[in-house]
Amino acid sequence: MTEPLIQLKHLSKFFPVDTDLLGRTTSLLKAVDDLTLDIFPGEAFGLVGESGCGKTTVGKMMVNLYQPTSGEIWFEGQDLAKLSTRARRGRCCDIQLIFQDPYASLNPRMTVGDIISEPIRINHLVRRDQIADRVGYLLNAVGLSANYRNRFPHEFSGGQRQRVGIARALAMQPKLIVCDEPVSALDVSIQAQVLNLLSDLREEFGLTYLFIAHGLNVVKHISDRVGVMYLGRLVEVASKRELYRNPLHPYTKALLSAIPVTNPEQRTKRILLEGDVLSPIDPPPGCRFAGRCYAKAGCTGCACESEMPELVEVSPGHFLSCYLFDEGRRVLAGEVS
Amino acid sequence: MADNVLLEVRNLSTDFVMKRGTVHAVIDMSFTVHEGEILAIVGESGSGKSVASLSVMGLLQPPGRVVSGEILYKGRNLLKLSRGEMRDIRGNHISMIFQEPMTSLNPVYTIENQLVESVQTHMKLDKKAAAARAVDMLRLVGIPSPEKRIKDYPHQMSGGMRQRVMTAMALSCDPDLLIADEPTTALDVTIQAQILALINELRGKIGMAVLLITHDLGVVAETADRVVVMYCGQVVEEATALQLFERPLHPYTLGLLRSIPTMEDSDADEPLYMIRGMVPNPLNMPKGCAFFDRCDRRMERCRTEMPPLYAAAGRRLRCFLFDPDRTGAAS
């Protein structure tokens, strides 16, 4: 088996939200809690969850915008936290980020050419006299005309701006690109264009993607494997085919059934989740989903509300964090499988 | 379906006159909403769907202006009403919920304050009765322990809860028509499913009609009875939801539906269908069909001539493919 390109080992990120008089933290927002994940070279890994589940925080830790509270990030066999600042910065070139909002992520006072060439200049990626060629090449690669280099972001539509953002990420010749909801701000007809572009670029440049999204339908198109997050925890990881055909976690099932289908005859009896997502501030012990779980009753004697279920492999490549499928527990509970 | 027409919009055109030129945001739009019906207006950003709904509500801000057409609500032309009369229509007869539940509520007043205010403005109730009604409305939209939550400020509630409060406010005066402008766009999918189920349920419970403005064809398929598809300010297709999703006919509708990543089980990783190109600049619209540049099935005629709305295949379509005079009309 090939070595993973990037490994997240027990990664956590807590934000202090409240302190007492002495400045001691009294309240923690657990954005990401003990997340372990491998992403392999050439793969597109989809990370799905609702707002506030920590998926963006994972992305930001990978590109070094956040420091993990605990846990390690290994990239090509190196622990990123152990690298010197200089080496770490070099590694940053290998991991790039595409932002969600193409209106906010481009400097309105810089031309598109400057936006794309800035990282090239700073990191001395090509010789000075070749920068212009490189920018033209990158613009073409994302489907824009090289003549656009002297235009400003406001002259472009949302889809075109997102292409500029992609070109800027590509400028660093990265190995891994973290795509943080790259199409959720775009219109449907433009979404398809950008998704197809990302697929093409992946083949052309041999890229690996971490593709973050809040809906399972967008991820389905581009990903090889999919992970579902809920309140800072991974609840299910499986290959795309397995996850969509055989979702096991109650939350994954609810997410899948919440996607509106474009067939009025199939206005299905969907799984309607009660209530809202819990606050990630000082979450209770036990399964984070327990408060909204509709399958909880089906596993009497489970520790859903007192103990966090581990992420275990239930079938090859299919990881799940739910007591419903935890053999040992079911036996304990007197349930014969 | 009820035959009673509640709202009829006839040949509505709305312009935005600006220094750089005039944008025709809504062009010659006609549609009807029947009692108890959910009509969806679908389109991408800039298609004029929100402007159309604001025109109906009389909430259009300058430079926006209705330049022609009629908006008949139970036979009365809303465009001819005085401000006072229009205020009476809004809330009592037609009410609206907006896209952003975060910004549509006043952050410095409690939910109770805001709900009671709208109830008292439109109904002759004393404070106590109005407060009781407010609690009832919150219960109706499925907010748990409404007696307690009514004392909350908007920031103490989640997005889904706020959208429920907005809905409660809109429904508090028993409107006959609810205009919902992207009611779920700012919400997570599981919360979206809750709100859509709520709108559907309320429609059944209190028998109001809903004009649903959205860009999401999935949301339309889930809720609507009939659908109006807009592109660049014009109606391009109007059909029942069943017709439209079973067999979209206008090239734009077809493209939109095909470009949504489906959840169907397909192993082939074929690229998504995409509509090429971009929406034309509203200040510089092409002479012929607005969809010409992006269309798969364009003809020479489309470049210079604007297709009218044809009645074909039990629906309305703006495309020369469905011109009855065309020899060998499209199947």
> One digit per residue, pLDDT tens: chain A, 337 residues?
688 999 999 999 998 887 777 777 778 888 899 999 999 999 999 999 888 788 889 999 998 888 999 999 999 888 888 888 888 887 878 999 998 888 889 999 999 999 999 999 988 888 999 999 999 999 999 999 888 999 999 888 888 999 999 999 999 999 999 999 888 888 888 888 899 999 999 999 999 999 998 878 888 888 999 999 998 899 999 999 899 888 999 999 988 888 877 777 766 667 778 777 777 787 878 888 888 888 775 666 667 777 888 888 888 889 998 887 766 555 444 443 3
By the 8 A CB rule, do A71 and A9 touch? yes
pLDDT, position B268: 55
Q: Which ranges in A34-157 belong to alpha helices (H)?
A: 55-62, 85-94, 112-122, 131-141
Per CB-CB distance under 8 Å, the chain A contacts of B262 are 217, 262
Q: Which of A35, A75, A26, A73 is nearest to A54 (CA)?
A: A35
In this prediction, residue B109 carries a pLDDT of 93
pLDDT of B329 reads 45
Q: What is the DSSP letter of A1?
A: -
B231 pLDDT above the threshold of 70: yes
Over 90: is that where the pLDDT of B124 sits?
no
Q: Average per-residue pLDDT in chain B?
A: 87
Average pLDDT on B54-78 reads 90
Residues from chain A contacting residue B253 (CB–CB below 8 Å)? none
CA dist A258 and B81 (Å) reads 42
Domain boundaries, chain A: 6-247
Domains and CATH numbers, chain B: 1-93+212-259+271-331 (3.40.50.300)
- Using an 8 Å CB-CB cutoff, list chain A residues near B45: 187
Q: What is the reported pTM?
A: 0.82
Confidence grade of residue B8 (pLDDT, cut at 50, 70, 90): very high
Report the alpha-carbon distance of residue B41 to residue B50 in Å, rounded: 9
Cβ distance A262 to B218 less than 8 Å, yes or no, reads yes
- Judge whether B248 and B260 are in contact, CB under 8 Å: no
Pairwise CA distance, residues B77 & B317, whole Å: 26
Residues of chain B with Cβ-Cβ distance to A272 below 8 Å are 193-194, 197
pLDDT value for A188: 82
Tokens of A120: 């090239």
Lowest-confidence range among A264-273, B150-159, B204-213?
A264-273
pLDDT at B285: 84
The shortest CB-CB distance from B272 to any of A159, A221, A276 is to: A221
Chain A, chain B: beta-carbon pairs less than 8 Å apart: 122
- What crossing angle do the helices spanning A112-122 and A131-141 adopt, rounded to 10°? 120
As a whole number, mean pLDDT of residues B217-242 equals: 92
CB contact under 8 A, A218 and B193: no
| Chain A interface test: which of B188, B226, B273 (most A C-beta within 10 Å) | B188
The pLDDT value recorded for residue A327 is 61
Task: State the pLDDT at residue B70.
Answer: 92
Residue A316 amino acid letter: P
Query: If 0-12 CB within 10 Å is exposed, 13-18 middle and 19+ buried, where does residue B200 land?
Result: middle
Q: How far, in Å, CA of B26 to CA of B67, rounded?
A: 10
Task: Kindly determine whether residue A256 and residue B263, on different chains, have CB atoms separated by under 8 Å.
Answer: yes
The pLDDT of residue A299 is 60
Instruction: Give the orientation angle of helix A188-205 with respect to helix A158-170, to 10 degrees.
Output: 20
Please tell me which of the candidates A220, A259, A272 has its beta carbon nearest to residue B194: A272
Q: Evaluate whether the domain defined by A6-247 bears CATH number 3.40.50.300.
A: yes
Cβ-defined contact of A188 to B44 (cutoff 8 Å):
yes
Q: Is the pLDDT of residue B240 over 50?
A: yes
Where do we find the tokens 């220094």? B19
B192, A273: Cβ pair inside 8 Å?
Answer: no
Mean per-residue pLDDT, B37-54: 90
From B221's Cα to the closest Cα of chain A, the distance in A is 5
Exposure letters B141-152 (e unless 16+ CB within 10 A, then b): bbbeebeebbee
Which pLDDT score, from 0 to 100, does residue A1 have? Answer: 61
Q: Which of B190, B221, B274 sits opposite A255 (nearest CB)?
A: B190
B157: pLDDT strictly greater than 50: yes
* From A283-297, B19-33, B124-138, B196-210, the region with the lowest mean pLDDT: A283-297
Integer angstrom CA distances of residue A32 from A65, A71, A231, A314:
14, 11, 7, 23
Q: Smallest Cβ distance to A188: which of B158, B188, B260?
A: B260
CB contacts, 8 Å: B221 with chain A: 260-264, 267
Closest partner residue to A50 (CB to CB) among B188, B257, B269 is: B188
pLDDT (average), residues B163-176: 86
Residue-by-residue DSSP string for B10-59: EEEEEEEEETTEEEEEEEEEEEEEETT-EEEEE--TTSSHHHHHHHHHT-
